[in-house]
Amino acid sequence: MKTAEAEAPEFKVIRIPTLEEVIREELGEDFVRIARCESGMRQFNEDGSVLISQTSDKGIFQINKVHWEQAKKLGYNIDTVKGNIGYAKYLKDKNGTSDWYMSRHCWQYDLL
């Protein structure tokens, strides 16, 4: 005779990482602070449109329009979370944090 417990389906808990955790894993702690300063850790506005600054910077990492064509050529859609983080990683690997130099007053800490 089967018990009710034996017939119960198994459920697995799947944990979806937060945006902050993804950024920390992909880019490191400096880029968590950069994302907080640049966009408040947001890719989209409340209406679902891509967050664009008054100077036409897009998304989580506020990718400047001078990069849009290069990002597209490299296959990054910076209008998506994945593409914005991916292109930020590309810039980080190429230039470190220098592309976010103008906001350093917000995210850079003295380690004294």
Among residues 109, 78, 79, which one has the least CA distance to residue 91? 78
Closest CA to 34 of 98, 94, 93: 98
Q: What is the pLDDT of residues 22-37, one digit of tens each?
A: 999 999 999 999 999 9
Which tens digit of pLDDT belongs to each residue from 77-109? 999 999 999 999 999 999 999 999 999 999 887
Beta bridge partners of 63: 58
Per-residue pLDDT band for 112 (boundaries 50, 70, 90) equals very low
Contact in structure between 61 and 38 (CB atoms under 8 Å):
yes
So what's the pLDDT on residue 109?
Answer: 73
Per-domain residue ranges of the chain: 17-97
Note the pLDDT tens digit of each residue in 7-23: 778 888 888 899 999 99
What pLDDT does 15 receive?
A: 87
Which residue is listed with tokens 């400047």?
Answer: 64
Q: In this predicted structure, what is the pLDDT of residue 73?
A: 98
The residues pairing with 52 across neighbouring beta strands, listed in sequence order, are: 58
